[in-house]
Amino acid sequence: MPNNIFLLPNRTGLASRLIAYYNTITMSKLTHLDETGRARMVDVGEKADSVRLAVARGSVQMQPETLALIVEGHIKKGDVLTVAQLAGIMAAKRTSDLIPMCHPLMLNHVAVTCTPNPAQSQIDIEASARLTGKTGVEMEALTAVSVAALTIYDMAKAVDRGMIIGDVRVVQKSGGKSGDWRLETGD
């Protein structure tokens, strides 16, 4: 029996057939698993180059007083928004060092914005990554947002340990075989 992480032991009849069917569908969609369920890096060598773009967003919620300190430049560690922006850009370029199955990519462009949102008492973060290549840049955009958020937390934690990092998600991607996609939400 193959070492299949989705196979449940001691199942017979209908349950066994349903599990086998689920495994077949799931395994065909999980490109980072081989036929036995083991992790593998996808071979993208035969894929055609195309322009790839991904946009990710996230936020860091905080006390209104903390947001005011950041906006006014009164955090002792320095300019929080600029440092977070730079950290996000640097992180996007190192994504393959952090996430095992990510390909090292030659990014054409990375942009990170950290925008104070007083109405929600948070900083909204958006990152975009672009390249011309064989694989997408969603992980690079997500990494940029995540590290920018962690940097904001690190720099302001002395005044607000209750900050909440959240809503990190891909909101748009384009290029490649799967084409264009946009998250259907109100933002």
- The residues carrying an active-site annotation are 154
Q: What stretches of 43-79 show up as alpha helix (H) in DSSP? A: 64-72
- Angstrom CA distances, 5 to 27, 102, 127, 159, stand at 10, 21, 34, 44
Say how far apart CA 178 and CA 187 lie, in whole Å.
23
Answer whether 172's CB lies under 8 Å from 142's CB: no
| CA-closest candidate to residue 125, choices 56, 50, 173 | 56
